[in-house]
Structure 1
Amino acid sequence: MPMTDFAHNLEAVRQRIAAAAHNAGRAPESVALLAVSKTFPAQDVRAAHAAGQRAFGENYVQESVDKIEALADLRASLEWHFIGPLQSNKTRLVAERYDWVHSVDRLKIAQRLSEQRPAGMAPLNVCLQVNVSGEATKSGVAPQEAAQVAHAIAALPNLRLRGLMSIPEPEATLDAQRAPHRQLRELFNSLRADGLTLDTLSMGMSADLEAAVLEGATIVRVGTAIFGTRDYSH
């Protein structure tokens, strides 16, 4: 994709975020855009970076490690977010390279990330993934277990628990899309009231970012609307 297309797509997404924020009575800058670059090559990330994007989200550990290394010359101005399912045997690769992990879905993963974060690096920013829709195929802690796990993660060294993340079931209408995001926001507010210093709600993607922003998202994770349709054949 030509660089001008990335600039156009990024601007279109930012306009959507700004319009949703306006409708919610929020400042557009209160919502950060995470460009989800999974399955797209390093040169696409480079082009999006040249168009002004700085934060990128990846789902697959080995693919992303190769990409991070290919873009090492941009490391000072790139922010890497891991947003996919994370297996125990892959935590070291992530702990050593990433700035954020949104998809911490159990305490064991957080403990390994904490132990494997290199001493010279800043604390790893993490979000607890919550399975708000209760789907058997989705990762994440059950909402009723979130408080116990969140407090345990917050006590770990080398991590900074920033907030909550969810991937709810797709819904067709704005009202239906807003419901699970509202549930996550209410859980977030209850954890803050319980003493946790959280500032991040990672929710909303290309199809439902407006609903997420209306319900308080601080990071929206957008891939298709920026990079185009994914090809999973490889």
Structure 2
Amino acid sequence: MTALAERLTALDARIADAARAVGRDPGELTRIVVTKFHPARLIDDLAALGVHDVGESRQQELTAKRGETTDAVSDVRWHFIGQLQTKKAKAVRAASDCVHSVDRDRVADALHAADPEGSPLDVFLQVNLTDDPARGGAAPSEVEALATHIAARCASLRLRGVMAVAPLTAAPAEAFERLAGAAATVRRVVPDAAWMSAGMSGDFAEAIAAGATHLRIGTAITGPRPDRG
């Protein structure tokens, strides 16, 4: 617990420094702790340290951990940040407060159909910043059409902004500038979709400089992921 608290404090200080360096208020940023492969008790520990947002990338893990954590995490928001299959949309919606990976009409439709009369679900439109169409995310040329579809056809989804992972083959700053361009496109469709989910342990400073509002930080806070085998 002491080591976890020290890593969390150190990382938050680095985030604050990166924000101030580009004239931004650190209070504008949401730090999401990615707990992939870690046991549910880690989320209890994080909540005790004041963490309000955690992220999972696998539906089974998300569902299981949300069921295993204690009442102490009732204030925690659960973010689904992994690729989403339409067949798992119902389970993801049931266990998530926010979904970062809506990348095509069918995913949006499946999430909406899972609870069309329910409380609005915050979603990000995921953008593919690579040249590989097999990677998750909508192509930049598809962003406007997808945003329009979500806004017009999926009333139970609240489009908040865009999300992306910087490709390994490009400088993060350049990639996140392209994401900022996609964000501007989305805002032409949904003017208040001002969030940007970008930046991980190794590139959050570049993401902050490009306008990120939500940072997905894993090992810099949690330490190495446990051996699964």
* TM-score, length-scaled by structure 2: 0.94
**Aligned match for 2:6, one of 5, 8, 13:** 8
The yes-or-no answer on 1:122 pairing with 2:129 is no
Per the TM alignment, residue 72 of structure 1 is displaced from its structure 2 partner at its CA by 4.9
Task: Judge conservation of contact 2:48–2:72 (CA < 8 Å) in 1.
Answer: no
For residues 193 and 111 of structure 1, what CA distance do their matches in structure 2 show? 21
1:99 to 97, 100, 115: 97
Task: Tell me how many residue pairs correspond in the alignment.
Answer: 228
Stretch deviating more after TM superposition (138-147 or 6-15): 6-15
CA contact (8 A) 2:56 2:81 kept: yes
SS in 2 for 1:157: coil
CA contact (8 A) 1:133 1:169 kept: yes
Map of 1:54 onto structure 2? 52
Contact 1:95 1:118 in 2 (8 A): no
In the alignment, what sits opposite 1:196? 191
The alpha carbon displacement at 1:193 in A equals 3.5
Report what 1:80 is aligned to.
78
Give the partner amino acid of 2:163: M
Q: Structure 1: how far apart are the matches of 2:53 and 2:86?
A: 24
Change (3 A) 1:70 1:233: closer
- Cα offset for 1:92? 0.5
Q: 1:220 Cα shift?
A: 0.5
Aligned position for 1:165: 163
Q: Distance in 2 between matches of 1:28 and 1:66?
A: 32
Identity within the alignment, %: 37
Correspondence 1:142 to 2:139: yes
After superposition, the C-alpha distances for 1:132-191 in whole angstroms (9 at most, x for unaligned) are 12234420010011000111112211110000000121368xxx2100101111221233
Residues 162 and 196 in structure 2, CA contact (< 8 A), matched pair in contact too: yes
With the length of structure 1 as denominator, give the TM-score of the two structures: 0.92
Q: How far 1:233 sits from its partner (Å)?
A: 3.1
Per mean C-alpha deviation after superposition, the further-off stretch among 210-219 and 135-144 is: 135-144
Counterpart in the other structure of 1:217: 212
DSSP 3-state at the match of 2:95: coil
Q: Write the distance in 1 (CA, Å) between the matches of 2:162 and 2:204.
A: 16
Unaligned runs of 5+ in 1: none
Pairwise CA distance, 1:111: 0.7
Please tell me whether the aligned partners of residues 79 and 99 of structure 1 are also in contact (alpha carbons under 8 angstroms): yes
Q: Is the 8 A contact 1:171 1:177 kept in 2?
A: no
Equivalent residues in 2 for 1:29-44, closer than 5 Å? 29-44=27-42
Structure 2 portions without partners, runs of 5+:
none
